[in-house]
Amino acid sequence: MSEGRIPGRTRTVGIVVAVAALAAAVYAVVSQLTGPVVFGEDDREITVSSGTHFSIRLKDNPSTGFRWVLAAPEPDPAVLRRTGGHYDADEPARPGSGGLRYVDFMARGAGHTEVTLRYCFRCGTPQADEQDENSRIRRFRVTVD
């Protein structure tokens, strides 16, 4: 092997790694630009196509002890599947300030179902008051074409 030359196998591995990194970067940019469809808490009737990823956006302030949870009855799993969610704090983020909660779903198959979200105090803990009169319920009727 001569000096300053990269062996063929090493060069091939480098090209494969660079192409994979480029593909991952392009995917990340496209995902950010074409992210899921977002519906607000006033969008009580939601219609999407099968295979669509979408989010329901709700005002939230986790510092109060309240949080949004998926409540019973859960959506029909043949029509809709929850895929996660995230919280975006208001800017500038300060202790006690609120933000927006995104609850993410994927439309699986044609049909109708209902999503019920409950804003409850310390949900899932022994201190939770399931009959908390301050809790809020938001119901969304989802149609998947």
CA gyration radius, the chain = 22
Note the pLDDT of residue 92: 86
If you classify domain 37-144 with CATH, what class do you get?
mainly beta
Q: Domain extents for the chain?
A: 37-144
Note the pLDDT of residue 94: 83
Tokens of residue 70, six digits: 């998926």
Give the residues of the chain that fall short of pLDDT 70: 1-4, 17, 20-21, 23-35, 124-135
Q: For residues 27 and 20, give the distance between their C-alpha atoms in angstroms, rounded to a whole number.
A: 11
Global pTM?
A: 0.70
Note the pLDDT of residue 31: 46
Note the pLDDT of residue 128: 61
